[in-house]
Amino acid sequence: MNADRFNPNDDTIAKDASTIEAAAGGPIDIAIVLGSGLSNALAAHADFTSITYDRLLGIPVAPLAGHAGAALIGTMHGKRVVAFAGRVHMYQGFSAAQVTVNVRLAHAAGAKTLIVTNAAGALNSAYRAGDLMLIDDHINLMGANPLTGARLDNPFTDMMHAYDPGLRGIAKDVAGSLDDERVREGVYVGLLGPSYETPAEARYLRGIGADAVGMSTVLETILARTFGMKVFGVSLITNVVGAPETTHAEVMHEANLAGPRLAAIIDGVIEKI
Ligand code: HPA
């Protein structure tokens, strides 16, 4: 029977996990999800073997520019790493289960830590394009949850410290040692998209406590916490919501510019964990 790329069973995920582990030379320690425009960011820090998603059996493939699709496998500071360069989003029509297959695969390959990145719009008026925001909590407004209908003994995942305070502390130290003064800490709200926010929505999101808004990450974090993985999340602020208009080109441009700073922080965190 052919594997179903859009509804992979555990055998398919296990096969993909062995493909990744074989390329890594053993079980994976750390999985990284690289958000929009960030696919190339880590290249300066490791020699990666690239396995394009079409060579994995269970990863859904998406067409949007800037979302290259490959698992980058390598060693950083003696730790085996897989970086997913490209993810699919619910706004493309994928389900919560499909957008979190990367996390399922990372877990199957042994990863105990998930580093999740994204491009996000600022709601906090103190933020500027090019800032990095260490995610200290999230609000899930995607209208979906990867645990819905999942066959789990206990789907009631605790989300108290979803973004690991220890990893965030390490990241703050790393940012300090890199003299990167544009690193913030804040709350990420995940929306379905793909339209950007109206001014009224932006006011509402700020009012409920969000500092940055995007269309990913929260579902991956939920599944990673269900698996007991530690999560470190970073948003790259690519635009300020409503100032005056948000375009996909602007988001990609800022992501490319700030990518190396984000990669340096990730590299420093990996060194210290
Ligand atoms: N809104 C939602 N998602 C985003 C934005 C935004 O302004 N920028 C980058 N991703």
| Chain Cα centroid distance, residue 93 | 18
Q: Which domains does the chain have, with CATH numbers?
A: 10-272 (3.40.50.1580)
- Tell me, what's the pLDDT at 188? 98
Distance in Å, CA 121 to ligand 1 centroid: 4
**Cβ of 119 below 6 Å from ligand 1:** yes
CA 56 – ligand 1 centroid, Å: 29
With a 6 Å cutoff on the Cβ, whether 188 touches ligand 1 is: no
Nearest CA to ligand 1 atom 10: 120
Which pLDDT belongs to residue 68? 53
Give the model confidence (pLDDT) of 216-235 as tens digits: 999 999 999 999 999 999 99
| Phi, then psi, of 114 in degrees rounded to 5 | -120, 125
What integer pLDDT is reported at residue 154 of this predicted model? Answer: 87
The pLDDT value recorded for residue 257 is 82
Q: Once rounded to an integer, what is the mean pLDDT over residues 184-188?
A: 98
More confident residue, 191 or 67: 191
Which residue's alpha carbon is at the smallest distance from atom 2 of ligand 1?
Answer: 214
Is a pLDDT exceeding 70 seen at residue 25?
yes
Q: Is the pLDDT of residue 245 over 90?
A: no
Q: Is the CB of 121 under 6 A from ligand 1?
A: yes
In the reported structure, the alpha carbon of residue 27 is separated from the centroid of ligand 1 by a whole-number distance in angstroms of: 34
- Our mutation pick for probing the ligand 1 site, out of 36, 201, 213, counting the most ligand atoms within 8 A of Cβ, is 213
Whether 189 has a pLDDT exceeding 90, the answer reads yes
pLDDT over 80 at 28, yes or no: yes
SS3 119: strand
Ligand 1 atom closest to the Cα of residue 241 is 7
Our answer on whether the CB atom of 251 is closer than 6 Å to any ligand 1 atom is: yes
Give the pLDDT score at 62.
67
Q: What proportions of the chain, in percent to the nearest 5, are helix, strand and coil?
A: 35, 25, 40
Alpha helices in the chain (DSSP H): 10-24, 96-99, 101-108, 165-177, 199-207, 218-226, 248-272
Nearest to 28 by CA among 98, 136, 100, 115: 115
pLDDT at 61 over 60: yes
Whole-angstrom Cα distance, residue 214 to residue 119? Answer: 7
**11, 212, 215 from 271: Cα distances, Å:** 33, 27, 29
Under the banding of pLDDT at 50, 70 and 90, the label for residue 177 is very high
Alpha-carbon distance of 254 to 245, in angstroms, equals 14
Average pLDDT over residues 7-36: 95
pLDDT band at 64 (very low <50, low <70, confident <90, very high): low
Cα torsion through 12, 14, 15, 16, rounded to 10? 90
Q: Answer whether residue 39 shows pLDDT above 90.
A: no
221 and 162 in contact (C-beta within 8 Å)?
A: yes
Please give the C-alpha separations between residue 258 and each of 40, 43, 72, 181, in angstroms, as whole numbers.
Answer: 11, 14, 20, 13
- Verify whether ligand 1 is closer than 6 Å to residue 120 (CB atom): yes
The pLDDT of residue 165: 98
- Rounded to two decimals, the pTM is 0.95
Residue nearest to atom 7 of ligand 1 (CA): 121
Per-residue pLDDT averaged across 38-50, rounded? 90
In this model, does residue 75 exceed pLDDT 80? yes
**Where residue 251 falls among pLDDT bands split at 50, 70, 90?**
confident
